[in-house]
Amino acid sequence: MEEQSSCPNVSIPCCPNVSIPCYNEQRDKKKRYTVYKVMVNVGRHEWFVFRRYAEFDKLYNTLRKQFPSLNLKIPPKRIFGDNFDPGDILINLTLPDVRAFLQMDKSQNFSDPSEDEDDKVGDDRTPTDFDFLKVIGKGSFGKVLLAKRKLDGKYYAIKVLQKRVILNRREQKHIMAERNVLLKNMKHPFLVGLHYSFQTTDKLYFVLDFVNGGELFFHLQKEQTFPEPRAKFYIAEMASALGYLHSLNIVYRDLKPENILLDSEGHIVLTDFGLCKEGISQAETTSTFCGTPEYLAPEVLRKQPYDNTVDWWCLGSVLYEMLFGLPPFYSRDTHEMYDNILHKPLRMRPGASNTAWSLLQALLEKDGTHRLGSRDDFNEIKAHYFFSEINWDDLEQRKVPPPFTPNVNSPHDITNFDPEFTGETVTNSVCYTEDSIVNAIVMEADDAFLGFSYAPPSDDSFL
């Protein structure tokens, strides 16, 4: 349990400049201790080190022995943060103990800023560039908020993630993979676009397209099922997006109605790339057990190596749900649902065309090696007779009129979002860095999220 403390700022006009902008009380195994965040600035270079009082005390003892005439005294622990004089430890910067304490010989602290992606991009990006207006979604690591950029009044969806939660769950690789996938999405019309990303001491920020037609899940809840032509349109756009990801050797792994948005015109936009797996060509496999229970392919449940055909299973599951109101093997009992996925035959229901059933059976084939898409990926999907009326070139140029247009009255309209989210209060902590919660885990975060920040070459491309 943490006890937050105030953050005094102490510095002196010398080179290097050392200050303690923040400290925090921590409890570890029922023992309380204080971690001080020390900011070191040398010319254009700036970095943080994290030290406990005992480490300061040890350094003071070393300096007292070498400079007895200076009569150095360390302030008592209870008032140290407010009374520490950086000049005490800057007596002689050639001393190995001082240099080690300030990490002055750590090469990455003096790397060329032009070679550091997080120095090049995002240093001038801060949460205060935006007015955060409404919560529009929540996830395992944070929230998604509607925000207005102060510079030009444009609206964006900003995904705000807590570093500590990510690190505690050891999910930093997934977050960095999501960032990498988002950067590759810019060339496809049915994938959400990343405008830029940046980080503060304790949070990560993805600045994304604000897509306000609502989740497919939201509309399915209201309407229960969709007519087959409408479902066909959505599935075709989803298949196009998945095919594009596969062409980049990316497996999506989490296709579900909650991750499919509608834009203001009615086109689908795929979002949330946290479970994507990079570097998987059609001939390669992975084996991580992940996804959403209702949409897991049999080979994932069996913990067998799998490839990008798991995405085509998910596509079939979403098509089935749009046509009939529930995923194909759904049960409230998860174990029973897993058993259904593994062993029960696909249940045919009235109301769908023969070509729809043919596609469902081909996509929901339990043997991944025989599933539609297992040989020639997206090309097999496009060639199925269910899509015979689709002009794929027109579809991917957004020339095919959507069968449904969401009720969107303005660029910041949130009526298609769940009131459970939009009614939530936007807290100040979303916008401001909570330096008072800094602790030793931030040292790990420095490396875990290295290279996270991104911005286009100029603000002209911030569209």
Binding-site residues from annotation for ATP: 159
Q: Which fold has domain 216-396?
A: Transferase(Phosphotransferase); domain 1 (1.10.510)
| Least confident among 96-105, 215-224, 279-288, 371-380 | 279-288
Distance CA 133, CA 116 (A): 33
368 contacts 310 by C-beta, under 8 angstroms: yes
- Would you say residue 409 has pLDDT above 80? yes
pLDDT for residue 120: 44
- Would you say residue 459 has pLDDT above 80? no
| Cross-strand partners of 41 | 17, 46
224 vs 185: which has the higher pLDDT:
224
Q: Which CATH number fits domain 17-111: 3.80.10.10, 3.30.930.10, 3.60.110.10, 3.30.1520.10?
A: 3.30.1520.10
Kindly report the backbone phi and psi dihedral angles of residue 235, in degrees, each rounded to the nearest multiple of 5, phi listed first.
-65, -40
Binding-site residues from annotation: 159
* Average pLDDT of span 395-424: 90
127 contacts 430 by C-beta, under 8 angstroms: yes
Identify the band that residue 433 occupies on the pLDDT scale cut at 50, 70 and 90: low
Residue of 88, 202, 209, 254 marked catalytic = 254
pLDDT for residue 460: 41
Identify the band that residue 11 occupies on the pLDDT scale cut at 50, 70 and 90: very low
- Would you say residue 194 has pLDDT above 50? yes
| Least confident among 80-89, 156-165, 205-214, 373-382 | 80-89
Q: Which tens digit of pLDDT belongs to each residue from 22-60?
A: 555 444 444 555 677 777 777 666 677 778 888 888 888
SS3 category, 7: coil
The residues, ordered by sequence, that sit 6+ positions from 442 with a Cβ below 8 Å of its Cβ are: 37, 48, 50, 163, 201, 202
Q: What is the mean pLDDT of the chain?
A: 81
Cβ-based neighbour number of residue 253 at 10 Å = 25
84 contacts 10 by C-beta, under 8 angstroms: yes
Q: Which single residue is written with the structure tokens 């529009």?
A: 136
Identify the band that residue 441 occupies on the pLDDT scale cut at 50, 70 and 90: very low
| Cross-strand partners of 27 | 32
Q: Does the 124-211+412-461 domain belong in CATH 3.10.129.10? A: no
Identify the band that residue 109 occupies on the pLDDT scale cut at 50, 70 and 90: low
**Report for 10-19, 104-113, 290-299: range of highest mean pLDDT:** 290-299
The residues, ordered by sequence, that sit 6+ positions from 228 with a Cβ below 8 Å of its Cβ are: 323, 352, 353, 356
Peptide bond into 293 cis (omega under 30): no
Percent of the chain with pLDDT over 70: 78
pLDDT for residue 246: 93
232 vs 53: which has the higher pLDDT:
232
CA 273-278-280 angle, 5° bins: 130
pLDDT for residue 40: 77
Q: Which tens digit of pLDDT belongs to each residue from 51-100?
A: 888 888 888 888 888 888 888 888 888 777 777 777 777 766 777 788 88
Spacing of C-alpha 462 from chain mean position: 20
Distance CA 295, CA 316 (A): 9
Q: Which tens digit of pLDDT belongs to each residue from 127-171?
A: 888 999 999 988 778 899 999 999 899 999 999 998 888 888 888
The residues, ordered by sequence, that sit 6+ positions from 158 with a Cβ below 8 Å of its Cβ are: 130, 132, 144, 145, 147, 205, 206, 207, 208
pLDDT for residue 282: 66
Domain boundaries, the chain: 17-111, 124-211+412-461, 216-396
Distance CA 289, CA 303 (A): 7
Q: Is 123 in the active site?
A: no
- Would you say residue 287 has pLDDT above 70? no
Instruction: Tell me the CB-side half-sphere exposure of residue 210, using CA atoms within 13 A.
Output: 26
Q: Which single residue is written with the structure tokens 């979604």?
A: 137
